Structure 1
Amino acid sequence: MRDATDSRLLAAVQRRADMTAQELGELLHLSASQAARRRARLEDDGVITGYGARLNPERLGLAVQAFVQVQMAAHNAGNAEGFAKLVQTLPEVVSCWTLTGEADYLLRVWCGDLAALNALIHHRLLPHPAVARVQSQIVMDQPKADSGLPV
């Protein structure tokens, strides 16, 4: 069972995953070993599923972020499986969700420029036999950066 200290630990590692046990202990008013044991328990329980670094898209030459809605030609297991396999091969697609409503999938993509986004849509997504329609929205600004889950 999680308590308030676990919630504070989770919030801290979401902000900065590379915190040492000593730093976590100081933040949580625990010894480094107590903080390390709590973090290990949350990892073992599957609450913490991994750690990663946040990269600067501009420094990587990624100037265009877009959300792409995909509508399937037909709703069947074969189409869903084929489209899921396609998405896994596309490094520009950083997230993919299945949705209710008009669109079946929502893709979050990062591309170097508009030409690369155009190529992704017209040469990779639309030619797939499972895809009936694609609609994209280009991100103009992101007033709130990606953040962690509310804990």
Structure 2
Amino acid sequence: MTELDEKDRLLLAALHKDSRQSLVALARHAGLSRSATQERLRRLETRGAIAAYTIRLGAEQKAPMVRALVAVAFHPGKNCDHVVPHLSGMPHVVSCWSLAGATDLMLLVECDSNDDLDMIRRRIAIIPGVATVQTHVTLRTHFDRRG
């Protein structure tokens, strides 16, 4: 990905603060025209600087019943380029982190049941390049500073 310029960084900061801002508000914040802002956002999406527009459900909304951390190790010679594209198409895989050490990726998986988790885990295990999958089901959240 090419380097972000100051206007790109302004747009990303504004979206990070409030992703529901209108295109006009974003343009005003970055000092750009509406069409220039729209083109920059499209380019940022294409380059992967903007991965998704999402919401975080409030406490009143139904949370997933099952949450697990899934540790993935690759076969020798395989890397994130081989595996992550498969994972990004799985909506229950809500986060994916590269790690140093014996585990190559750590995934946060959220679903409605243990049966769903088992199905997702099996789908991950058959991705070309995946050597091992270890699943750690969470029991309780003591605190969560995200969002």
TM range (shorter): 0.5 to 0.7
Separation in structure 2 between the aligned mates of residue 10 and residue 89 of structure 1, nearest angstrom: 23
Contact 1:62 1:111 in 2 (8 A): yes
Report what 1:2 is aligned to.
6
Output the amino acid matched with 1:43.
Answer: L
Describe how 1:2-151 pairs up with structure 2 within 5 A: 2=6, 7-24=9-26, 28=29, 34=32, 36=34, 39-40=37-38, 42-43=40-41, 46=44, 49=50, 52-56=53-57, 59=61, 62-72=64-74, 74-77=75-78, 81=82, 83-84=83-84, 87=87, 90-121=90-121, 123-126=122-125, 130-136=130-136, 138=138, 140-146=141-147
Larger radius of gyration between Structure 1 and Structure 2: 1
Normalised to the residue count of structure 1, the TM-score between the two structures is 0.57
Q: CA 1:60–1:132 in structure 2 vs 1: closer, same or farther (change >3 Å)?
A: same
Query: 1:145 aligns to what SS in structure 2?
Result: coil
Separation in structure 2 between the aligned mates of residue 91 and residue 2 of structure 1, nearest angstrom: 32
Contact 1:9 1:24 in 2 (8 A): yes
Output the amino acid matched with 1:71.
Answer: A
Contact 1:92 1:109 in 2 (8 A): yes
Aligned-CA RMSD value: 4.1
Identity, in percent, stands at: 18
Output the amino acid matched with 2:145.
Answer: K
| Higher relative contact order, structure no. (Cα contacts within 8 Å, ≥ 6 residues apart) | 1
Unpaired runs of 5+ in structure 2?
Answer: none
Contact 2:71 2:106 in 1 (8 A): yes
Separation in structure 2 between the aligned mates of residue 57 and residue 109 of structure 1, nearest angstrom: 19
Unpaired runs of 5+ in structure 1?
Answer: 147-151
Deviation at 1:53, TM superposition (A): 2.9
Contact 2:69 2:109 in 1 (8 A): yes
Normalised to the residue count of structure 2, the TM-score between the two structures is 0.58
Separation in structure 2 between the aligned mates of residue 85 and residue 7 of structure 1, nearest angstrom: 26
